[in-house]
């Protein structure tokens, strides 16, 4: 594994919704070839953080830097233009369409210009090549996505993001509701993406053990702040568990 130059950096991101402060000064940086795990309870601010990085929300203050350059995202398309892709939990796949149609949805390859016809053969070829490159095995790219397992669907969603030249990949709970074998499929896929060395991965997760295994670094988000940050190799699940347990006790004590 090689960790390259800084891909994305966030500085002192603040975001409030009315009287509720979702983020109160979050800073982080992820390098190319590095995987950052973002842990935290529901409502801790993880989703808000991801939605700011994907351009869905705009921060009240603070800055975002891609490749060291300050950027301002007015929309999801702005973030995409900077190579930021997010794979959401709902995966945004169309079950009734084939794998290759899903991978090229809205980025179709056409014969002869923007008013041309769909180039099915070229899309099939490129989709199969892209899946082979990142080691995702499917019987045929012509299969309907609805016929795939949960792990395969997740892999297709990740492959689509990679195919669209994503350089900063945000994964929202990629292992949620998945059996051990299915999870293995995705963990292996993330490992291979990491090994390419040109993609920075930010992964939201709940499962401490899996996150520590996959990620290079982990952060813990609580009440809109980063309360813990460490290299995964130097962290134990028990350590994280203790921090969260202290939190619960404090909350119960009022």
Partner 1 sequence: MERAARRGIARRLHDFLLRPEASVIVVSVALVVYFELSNANFLTDANLQTVSQFVASPVIIACGEIMLLICREIDLSVGQVFALAPFVMEHAQALGLPVPLAIVAALLVCALIGLVIGLITIKLSIPSFITTLGMLFLITGVTLTISRGYPANTPGGPILTGIMGAWGYSEIVWALVIVAIMHVVLRHTRWGLHTIAIGGNIVAAAEAGIAINRIKIGNFVLTSTLGGLTGLLEAFRIGSTDPLAGGSNIMFLGVASGVIGGTAIAGGAGTIIGGLVGGIMLGVMQDGFTLQGINAFTFDIIIGAAILIAMVANTHLARLRAHGPWGGGTAR
Site for partner 1 in 143-162 (CB under 8 A): 143, 146-149, 152
Rank residues 130 and 226 by Cβ distance to partner 1 and give the closer one.
130
Tokens of 76: 């999801």
Rank residues 101 and 217 by Cβ distance to partner 1 and give the closer one.
101
Q: Look-up: residue for tokens 């603040």?
A: 14
Shortest Cβ 93–partner 1 spacing (Å): 6
Q: Does 117 bind partner 1 (CB under 8 A)?
A: yes
Shortest Cβ 105–partner 1 spacing (Å): 5
Q: Does 132 bind partner 1 (CB under 8 A)?
A: no
What is the DSSP secondary structure assignment for residue 29, as one 8-state letter? E
Q: Does 101 bind partner 1 (CB under 8 A)?
A: yes
Of the candidate spans 42-50, 57-65, 94-102, 168-176, the one that interacts with partner 1 by CB under 8 A turns out to be 94-102
> In sequence order, what DSSP letters do the residues of 58-84 get, joined into one string?
--SEEEEEETTEEE--SSHHHHHHTTE
Rank residues 61 and 140 by Cβ distance to partner 1 and give the closer one.
140
Rank residues 5 and 110 by Cβ distance to partner 1 and give the closer one.
110
Asked whether 26 and 10 are in contact (CB, 8 A), the reply is: yes
Of the candidate spans 23-31, 95-103, 222-230, 240-248, the one that interacts with partner 1 by CB under 8 A turns out to be 95-103
Q: Does 110 bind partner 1 (CB under 8 A)?
A: yes
Rank residues 105 and 195 by Cβ distance to partner 1 and give the closer one.
105
Rank residues 44 and 204 by Cβ distance to partner 1 and give the closer one.
204
C-beta atoms surrounding 175 within 10 Å:
24
Of the candidate spans 8-16, 105-113, 209-217, 227-235, the one that interacts with partner 1 by CB under 8 A turns out to be 105-113
> In sequence order, what DSSP letters do the residues of 226-252 get, joined into one string?
EEEEEEGGG--HHHHHHHHHHHHHHHH
Chain centre distance of CA 212: 16
Q: Does 250 bind partner 1 (CB under 8 A)?
A: no
Rank residues 77 and 253 by Cβ distance to partner 1 and give the closer one.
77
Shortest Cβ 249–partner 1 spacing (Å): 39
Rounded-to-integer distance, Cα 123 and Cα 67, Å:
31
Rounded-to-integer distance, Cα 170 and Cα 154, Å:
13
> How far lies 223's CA from each of 23, 42, 44, 207, in Å?
7, 10, 5, 19
Rounded-to-integer distance, Cα 179 and Cα 169, Å:
23
Measured torsion, CA atoms of residues 105, 111, 116, 121, in degrees rounded to the nearest 10: -50
Q: Residues interacting with partner 1, by CB under 8 A?
A: 77, 88, 90-97, 101, 105-106, 108, 110, 117-118, 120, 138-139, 143, 146-149, 152
């Amino acid at each position: 594994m090689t960790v390259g130059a800084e891909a994305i950096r966030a500085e002192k991101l603040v975001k409030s919704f009315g009287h509720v402060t979702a983020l109160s000064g979050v800073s982080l940086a992820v390098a190319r070839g590095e995987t950052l795990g973002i842990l935290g309870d529901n409502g801790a601010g993880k989703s808000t953080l991801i939605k700011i990085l994907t351009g869905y929300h705009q921060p009240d203050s603070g800055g975002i830097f891609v490749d060291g350059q300050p950027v301002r995202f007015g929309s999801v398309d702005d973030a995409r233009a900077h190579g930021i892709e997010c794979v959401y939990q709902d995966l945004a796949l169309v079950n009734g369409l084939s794998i290759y149609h899903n991978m090229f949805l809205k980025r179709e390859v056409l014969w002869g210009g923007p008013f041309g016809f769909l180039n099915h053969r070229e899309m099939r070829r490129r989709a199969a090549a892209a899946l082979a490159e990142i080691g995702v095995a499917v019987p045929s790219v012509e299969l309907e996505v609805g016929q795939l397992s949960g792990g395969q669907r997740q892999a297709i969603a990740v492959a689509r993001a990679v195919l669209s030249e994503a350089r900063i990949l945000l994964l929202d709970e990629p292992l949620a509701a998945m059996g051990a074998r299915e999870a293995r499929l995705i963990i292996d896929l993330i490992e291979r993406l990491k090994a390419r060395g040109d993609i920075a991965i930010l992964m939201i997760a709940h499962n401490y053990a899996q996150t520590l295994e996959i990620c290079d670094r982990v952060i813990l988000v609580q009440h809109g702040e980063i309360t813990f940050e460490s290299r995964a190799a130097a962290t134990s699940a028990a350590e994280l568990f203790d921090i969260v347990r202290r939190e619960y006790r404090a909350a119960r004590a009022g």
